[in-house]
Structure formats: structure tokens, C-alpha cells
Amino acid sequence: MNLPNMKEARLRTNKEVEFLDAKNIKSNKFQNQKYFIRTYGCQMNVHDSEEIKGILENLGFKETEKLEEANIVVLNTCAIRENAHDKVFGFLGRLKHLKRENSNLIICIGGCMPQEESVATLLKEKYPFVNIVFGTHNINDLGSMILEENKKQQIEVYSIEGNVYEHMDYVRDSKITAWVNIMYGCDKFCTYCIVPFTRGKQRSRKMEEIIKEVEDLKRKGYMEVTLLGQNVNAYGKDLDYGYDFATLLENVAKTNIPRIRFVTSHPWDFTDEMIDVIARYQNIMPYIHLPLQSGSTKILKLMGRRYTKEEYITLYNKIKKSIPGVSITTDIIVGFPNETDEDFKETLDVVNKCKFDGAFTFIYSPREGTPAAKIKDSIPLSTKEERLHELNELINDYSLKHNQEYLGKIVEVLVLGPSEKGKDKVYGYTKTMKLVNIENAKEDIGKLINVKITDAKSFSLDGKKEVFAKN
């Protein structure tokens, strides 16, 4: 057994990371058997689940959405906040019950949670009915672990960064939009964040492999790629190839895939060259997710974010000025230890100055092993909740105002599928990542169409199809 050892994780340098071909083990041992997968957390996890699905389908399993039908269940977990843990342990209770009825059920837990030493230990001691525990660094081993399954609990979690695997057999959730990893891990070590511990040091994929993947997706008819990384702007900094995110973005744009976006950006690594490339290429979507985290320079320093309130606003204004019509969303944490009312007002002030298109807002959640978890947290939960509420009201006001600017306009929308808002409706996104529900465009799924916006709410737009754009 190899339990995670966080100190070890910091010792490895990127130079030791190997670029390998994925195993893609094929077998028909589990033909006619079914898998159920549940994914928690960020887009990175969603894409990891596409890799896990590929592994399972290579072994013969078919997907089911009915838990009771499954022969194998995989939980791909998230560790970013405490409530992510709670959800997983809640679901494990259900699975324990199910296992009593079906002792052959194989239960697997992977992703970020097992990377925490305390969780891996807890699974070993208190959850013996879980068959397979794997981490973020060895997803590629899941196939062989399942083939070796013999009802004894297998725990394989590595603290050391995984190698970079190429040519994986993904089972992608969509035939229209695709996630493309450009890097793994993060070197920023923001003081509240568990990610550098659960996902390890930054490892960038080589540019030629990324371009090949995008070209292949384009050939298959994909309309949009999202370049994925914890801090995409730092892409390439761990390699000595002399290229960075601006170079990568420009080369991805030159593949002529119709739409490109990227998440997540860190203000510290955002350069003028990157802004310039985004502005120059029509197929790079004018949409940037630029986490602020706090508007108080004092709190930003405690968070280890490496920018001040003023520097964030300057970058924000530069992006707004340079990229016409750009929409910018953000992440904000309230209730970080030592955040006073004055500090919180600074956050509201930045929101009032930047008028974000939207934001994900969170109450600070201490994560064991991170530096911030050692800072005494004396803010009452009720105060944190009040701050979150006040912040959300303000954010929603601005979201609505931004959406109202679209009223009566004709915008290009990539249609993704049937809408939840009515039988005759489909949904899609504008170039600025505004969700639009559209009437009478069922035959346009997978296409770029022009839509006239007829109604605007805080979180979505309504529209009617106009004339065809390119498809």
C-alpha cells in the first residue's frame, strides 16, 4: 500500500516527469456488465471521468444511469471544500446498503479526496466495503486494478506527481464540445487551496500533442474546445521549450476549430501577449474566468495571491479595453480568517468597479494541511453567511444588467442540446458564455446559429432563431 506523503510530493521536479503512452488495456471480462459513475467538483474532474469511462468501456462495461443496475460504481471525488467531502461520505452510506444486497458490486473511489492522507486512512479503517481506492496520479492504473479485483480492498494512491499520459481512450460526454487538458497540477500554492497537494506540481503537456488532439477533434466534427488547467496562464513555465500560453493559444486558434475557450486564469501569469492573441483571433471566445478571491489587498496577501486590489483592477480594465465585448466572470471567497467588515467592503468595491458578468462565490472552508488552516478563524458562521448573501445579491444584479444589454440583439449561439425550459426548446451558449434557451431550433443541435434575444434573466437569456451562420 502506498499512502500519500505530502512532503514527498514537493520534492519531485518536473524534469523527472515522463511523457508516456496511456495503457488503454482492453478486455472482454466484463462484457454485458454495467458501470455507474458520479463526478464531483471541477471541469478537471469531469474530464478525468471521461478518461475513467474510457477505461471501463475498454474492459467491456456499459454505462447506466441507474445505480441499482450497476456492477461497478465509481465516485470521482473533489476535496476543494468540506461540503464536497460530506456529499461523498453521504453517498457511501447508500452504497454500503446496496452492497449488502449485492456483495459482488465493485465500489471504487478516486480523484482528489483519496489524495488526502486522512481520507485514505479513513477509507482503509472505516470503509472496508470499498474495493478500490485510487488517486489523481494513477487513474491510468484503474483498468489493471479492476482486473486484479479479488474482494480485498486495494488502495493505490501516490503522493508523487503522475507522469503525463498521451493518447488516452476518452469516452467524451459531448460530440460538440470537448475538454482538452493542457497541463496538470498547480505551483501557485494559494494558502487556502488543497489543489497543489491533491493534484501535484504543474506539468504541462507538449504543445504538439495538444495541437494534434485539437486537430483530431476538429476532424471528428467538434465545434468547441476548452483548454483545461488549474492556472492556464502558467502553461509551459515548467518546460524548457521556449513557449508559453500565448504561443499555445495562437497555435490552437490556427487549427481553425470554430470555438476555443480556456479555464482557469490566474491574474499573476496573465501577460499582454495573451490578451493580444485573444483579441486577434475570432475563434478564441471573448470570455475569461479571472478569479479575484478577495478585494482586500490585506486578505489577498494572506491568501498568497501575489496581486493587490489595484493590480487586479488594472488587469481587468486592460482586458476589457483590449478585447471588444469580452465577458469576465470570477471566483470570490468570503470569510477568510481575519477578514473584517472593512476587508469585505473592499471586495464589494471591486465588484462595483468591475461589474462582473457572473461569479462563483464561496464561504472559506479550512483544508487540512494548507497554510491557511493554521490561521485562527474567529469569524462567526452567521457573519460569513450574511457576507455571502450580500455579495450574491450584488453579483446577481450585475449579471442581470449584463444580460439585459443583449435584449433585441442578434447573437451567435452554439446549440448544445434539448433545453430543460420546455419541450420545443434547445439551449446553447453565446461566444461570451451566456446561456440561451431557444425556440424552434431542434434541428440545429451542434450548429452555430444566429439568435435574436427576446428576454433576459440573471442566469440565462431567451431567444428565437434568426438566420443561419456558418456551421
Which partner from the list ligand 5AD, ligand SF4, none does 80 bind, CB cut-off 5 to 8 Å by kind? ligand 5AD
The option from ligand SF4, ligand 5AD, none interacting with 196 (CB < 5 to 8 A, set by class) reads: ligand SF4
Q: Which residues in 180-199 contact ligand 5AD (CB under 6 A)?
A: 192-193
Beta strands in 64-194 (DSSP E): 72-77, 106-111, 132-134, 154-156, 164-166, 177-181, 183-184
Could you say which residues in the range 70-129 bind ligand 5AD, by CB under 6 A?
80-81
| Residue 446 C-beta-side C-alpha neighbours within 13 Å | 8
From CA 172, how far away is CA 374, in angstroms rounded? 40
Q: Determine if 34 is a binding residue for ligand SF4 (CB under 6 A).
A: no
266 contact choice in ligand SF4, ligand 5AD, none (CB below 5 to 8 Å, kind-dependent): ligand SF4
Among 111, 114, 196, 428, binds ligand SF4 (CB under 6 A): 196
Instruction: Identify which of residues 43 and 102 has a Cβ nearer to ligand 5AD in the complex.
Output: 43
Using rule CB under 6 A, residue 365 touches ligand 5AD = yes
Smaller CB separation from ligand 5AD, 264 or 419 = 264
* CB of 190 closer than 8 Å to CB of 364: no
Q: What character string, x for contact with ligand SF4 (CB under 6 A) and - otherwise, covers 255-294?
A: -----------x----------------------------
Rg of the chain in Å (alpha carbons): 23
Question: According to CB under 6 A, which residues from 86 to 105 bind ligand SF4?
Answer: none
Backbone angles phi, psi at 427, to 5 degrees: -125, 160
Decide whether 267 or 446 has the Cβ nearer to ligand 5AD: 267
Residue 1: closest CA among 152, 143, 210, 213: 152
- Strands, DSSP E only, in 106-202? 106-111, 132-134, 154-156, 164-166, 177-181, 183-184
Q: How many CB atoms lie within 10 A of CB 81?
A: 18
Distance CA 440, CA 445 (A): 11
Query: Which residue's CB is nearer to ligand SF4, number 186 or number 277?
Result: 186
Does residue number 230 form part of the binding site for ligand SF4 (CB under 6 A)? yes
Instruction: Report whether 350 contacts 314 (CB < 8 A).
Output: no
d(CA 236, CA 245): 7
- Tell me whether residue 140 or residue 230 sits nearer to ligand SF4 (CB atom): 230
CB of 79 to ligand 5AD, least distance (A): 9
Judged by CB under 6 A, which of 196, 200, 258, 291 binds ligand 5AD? 291
Q: How far is the CB of 323 from ligand SF4 (least distance, A)?
A: 22
Distances 394 to 35, 296, 344, 345, 433 between C-alpha atoms, Å: 43, 17, 13, 12, 20
Q: Which residues bind ligand SF4 (CB under 6 A)?
A: 186, 188-190, 193, 195-196, 230-231, 266
Q: Which residues bind ligand 5AD (CB under 6 A)?
A: 80-81, 192-193, 291, 293, 331, 333, 362, 364-365, 367
